[in-house]
A and B are shown apart, each in its own frame.
Chain A
Amino acid sequence: MKTFILIIFLIVFNVVLFTMYLNQRNKQSTDIEQLKEQNKQYQTHFDSLGAVNNALNLSIEAEKVKVQILFEKDAANIRLFENNQDAIKSLKTKYEKVNRIDSFKSNDILRYFTDSIGR
């Protein structure tokens, strides 16, 4: 009888223990699942940000190309401007020629009007 009670007690004890173990295990599994789910979300967020960063990097590269083209345009513009400045400097000789008009004789004046304006 005593043995029987002991066996029953042990069976009940084991059942209770096993149930506690199962509950605990279920709880832990749920926690782990939740944490794994959270990790998935973090990973998805991480990946999406990575994709955005890649797009931004591409945009930066495109801007670099644009800037390069603009610099080339600027260099061409500067060359044109320098040529223009040279042309302005070359006007000095024309102004000097104008000063020579002071020494024009009658013939020169006549030639000027007949050549430049008269015809």
Chain B
Amino acid sequence: MIVLSLTTYCAISQTALVDSVTCIPNSILRNAIKQIETGKVVKEELLLTKKSVSLLQNSLTIKDSVIASYQRSEADYKNIYTNAKIQMIDLNSLIANERAIGKIYMLDARKQKKLKWVYAISGIAVGYFIVHK
């Protein structure tokens, strides 16, 4: 009797609904705790991983924006280059026209020079004929 009274027994109640006591071996409880705690850490890790992925996606978007910006700059540079080439053509045309104008003035000057002699000879001839006749 003494032995029986000192020994504790675990029992699973089939009738009590509230605050009933369940006897579970420590190894199972340890396992349960381990799983709960692992779950908590894994949840935290998952959240951090999700955040990392989000940050990486953000980084990717930033890099895409940088590339797009560089592409716009490149297009602008190409346009500037094309415009500069056209400007060069314009300048060459301007120079050619100025040269043509200069040439016309030169020809005119030469003609004036020749006309000067024609007028001089004509004048002398007229004077000569007027004096001798």
Give which listed residue, A3, A73, A80, contacts B133 with CB less than 8 A: A3
Over the window 74-102 of chain A, the binary record of Cβ atoms lying under 8 Å from chain B Cβ atoms (1 yes, 0 no) is 10011011001101100100110110011
A53 to B85, CA, bound (A): 12
In the complex, the chain A residue whose C-beta lies closest to that of B31 is: A101
| Complex interface: chain A residues within 8 A of B108 (CB) | 25, 28
Number of interface residues of A (CB under 8 A): 60
A30 to B47, CA, bound (A): 83
Number of interface residues of B (CB under 8 A): 57
Contact yes or no, A101 B83, CB < 8 A:
no
Contact yes or no, A84 B41, CB < 8 A:
no
Q: B: which residues have CB within 8 A of A?
A: 26, 29-30, 33-34, 36-38, 41, 44-45, 48-49, 51-52, 55-56, 58-59, 62-63, 65-66, 69-70, 72-73, 76-77, 79-80, 83-84, 86-87, 90-91, 93-94, 97-98, 100-101, 104-105, 107-108, 111, 115, 118-119, 122, 125-126, 129-130, 133
